[in-house]
């Protein structure tokens, strides 16, 4: 019974060790074996949208009559449009296959894994990439008064007590003309009060704001906002042309690819270059060494995004789905005198750097 319990505790300890990220050492306690997975390519698509909101002023029907100009906005509305789209390569763990490499004898090797168990480096520090995380966000581009509370700042007591909409519109128009007259008097020096320097700047700014608040009650307002949305984890499955990844609806903005109310954003992968196994001096593919330490040899493709017939983005990218897997003999990593190190690309699992470290003899 005690033996079974001890064995169970050892297995639990090994399982917990294998699940850890960071530096992993091949040693006696784990039978000199380390398990890992490789990354699989996915595409993150970043879409920038613009929302335009129009709101009619309460005196839109009297704009021509009292101000001599037609109302710019006669009814409330909102609409979305696509500004730009781009894409970048990302990765997820390829959990369909788990590899185990045994690194026994010779010098003590070590391996770096990320928190998802993906192989990053052997006998070296892993590659550190600059953060490229893009979050969904909104940016206000123009801020015109859009609500009734904003309008209320421009109302005078006489306007509030007038009792009718047309009378309020008439008084608002008269107030606009008074403001313009006051501004002219200040500029020409005919005002009873004299302003200079910063005081003049502040007074002119206040007059402009008052006039604008009153004017938009006739002409209406327009507000635009930018929103960035990231469509994460589109998985390439092969060469493709005009695959719908999302749609843009004038009413609802970015919608699902199956929502036919929107215009489609297409992704294409063309000019695919599939990777092949390395060749020896005779032009024959190398034989994969036994118990190899596996890495990816990704393929290439020209990726593009289009919308309403316009090319929005194009870039050549490395894709593991168009590649092959190869490996290096484990003995290279345990040599006591000349130990091989390898650093992989975190997104593709391809070799970024490989070399040898000269170890001092004991």
Q: Give backbone dihedrals phi and psi of 158, rounded to 5 degrees, phi first.
A: -60, -40
pLDDT range class, residue 192, cuts 50, 70, 90: low
pLDDT range class, residue 344, cuts 50, 70, 90: very high
pLDDT mean across residues, the chain: 83
Q: CA 109 to CA 34: how far, in whole Å?
A: 11
Q: Are 48 and 84 in contact (CB under 8 A)?
A: yes
Nearest alpha carbon to residue 349 among 317, 330, 323: 323
* pLDDT score recorded for residue 136: 62
* pLDDT score recorded for residue 352: 94
Q: CA 29 to CA 35: how far, in whole Å?
A: 14
Q: CA 346 to CA 120: how far, in whole Å?
A: 6
- Segment 138-145 shows an average pLDDT of 55
% of the chain with per-residue pLDDT over 90 = 50
CA angle 96, 120, 12 (to 5 degrees): 65
CA distances from 284 to 277, 310, 322, 327 (A): 9, 45, 20, 16
> What letter does residue 334 receive in the DSSP assignment?
S
- Segment 245-269 shows an average pLDDT of 95
What confidence tens digit (pLDDT) does each residue in 91-105 have? Answer: 999 999 999 988 876
- Segment 159-181 shows an average pLDDT of 84
Q: Are 31 and 202 in contact (CB under 8 A)?
A: no
User: What DSSP letter does each residue of 227-275 carry, written as one string?
Assistant: EEEEEEEE---S-EEEEEEEEEETTTEEE-TT-TTSEEEEEEEEEEE--
* pLDDT score recorded for residue 242: 95
Q: CA 295 to CA 284: how far, in whole Å?
A: 20
How many CB atoms sit inside 10 A of residue 256's CB?
Answer: 12
* pLDDT score recorded for residue 139: 61
* pLDDT score recorded for residue 10: 32
CA angle 211, 217, 223 (to 5 degrees): 95
CA distances from 37 to 92, 150, 295, 324 (A): 10, 58, 9, 15
What confidence tens digit (pLDDT) does each residue in 78-94 have? Answer: 999 999 999 999 999 99
- Segment 302-320 shows an average pLDDT of 96
pLDDT at 337 over 50: yes
What confidence tens digit (pLDDT) does each residue in 7-26 have? Answer: 333 333 333 333 345 888 87
pLDDT range class, residue 150, cuts 50, 70, 90: low
Lowest mean pLDDT, pick from 140-149, 270-279, 337-346: 140-149
What confidence tens digit (pLDDT) does each residue in 193-212 have? Answer: 777 778 888 888 888 988 88
- Segment 252-280 shows an average pLDDT of 91
* pLDDT score recorded for residue 18: 38
Q: Which residue has the higher pLDDT, 32 or 73?
A: 73
The H-assigned helical ranges of the chain are: 2-19, 63-67, 148-152, 157-160, 165-188, 197-219
Residues 6+ apart with CB under 8 A from 158: 171
CA 113 to mean position of chain CA atoms: 25
């Amino acid at each position: 019974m005690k033996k079974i319990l001890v064995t169970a505790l050892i297995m639990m300890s090994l399982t917990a060790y294998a699940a850890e990220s960071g530096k992993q050492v091949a040693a006696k306690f784990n039978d000199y074996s380390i398990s890992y997975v490789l990354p699989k390519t996915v595409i993150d698509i970043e879409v920038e949208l613009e929302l335009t909101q129009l709101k009619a002023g309460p005196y839109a029907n009297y704009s021509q009559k009292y101000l001599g100009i037609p109302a710019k906005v006669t009814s409330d509305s909102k609409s979305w449009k696509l500004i730009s789209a781009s894409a970048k390569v990302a990765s997820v763990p390829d959990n369909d296959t788990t590899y185990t490499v045994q690194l026994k004898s010779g010098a003590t090797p070590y391996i770096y894994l990320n928190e998802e168990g993906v192989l990053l480096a052997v006998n070296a520090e892993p590659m550190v990439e600059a953060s490229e995380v893009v979050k969904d966000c909104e940016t206000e581009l123009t801020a015109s008064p859009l609500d009734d509370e904003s309008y209320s700042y421009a109302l005078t007591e006489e306007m509030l007590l007038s009792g009718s909409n047309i009378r309020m519109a008439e008084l608002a128009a008269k107030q606009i003309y008074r403001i313009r007259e006051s501004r002219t008097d200040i500029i020409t020096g005919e005002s009873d009060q004299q302003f200079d320097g910063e005081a003049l700047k502040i007074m002119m700014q206040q007059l402009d704001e008052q006039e604008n608040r009153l004017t938009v009650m006739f002409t209406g307002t327009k507000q635009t906002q930018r929103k960035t949305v990231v469509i994460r984890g589109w998985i390439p499955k092969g060469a493709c042309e005009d695959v719908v990844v999302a749609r843009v609806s004038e009413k609802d903005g970015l919608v699902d690819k199956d929502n036919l109310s929107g215009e489609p954003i297409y992704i294409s992968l063309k000019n695919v270059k599939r990777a092949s196994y390395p060749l020896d001096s005779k032009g024959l593919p190398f034989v994969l060494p036994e118990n190899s330490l596996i890495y990816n040899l990704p393929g290439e493709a020209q990726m593009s995004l289009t919308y309403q017939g316009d090319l929005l983005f194009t870039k050549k990218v490395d894709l593991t789905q168009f590649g092959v897997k190869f490996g290096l003999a484990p003995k290279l990593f345990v040599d006591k005198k000349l130990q091989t190190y390898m650093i992989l690309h975190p997104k593709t699992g391809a070799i970024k750097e490989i070399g040898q470290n000269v170890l001092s003899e004991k």
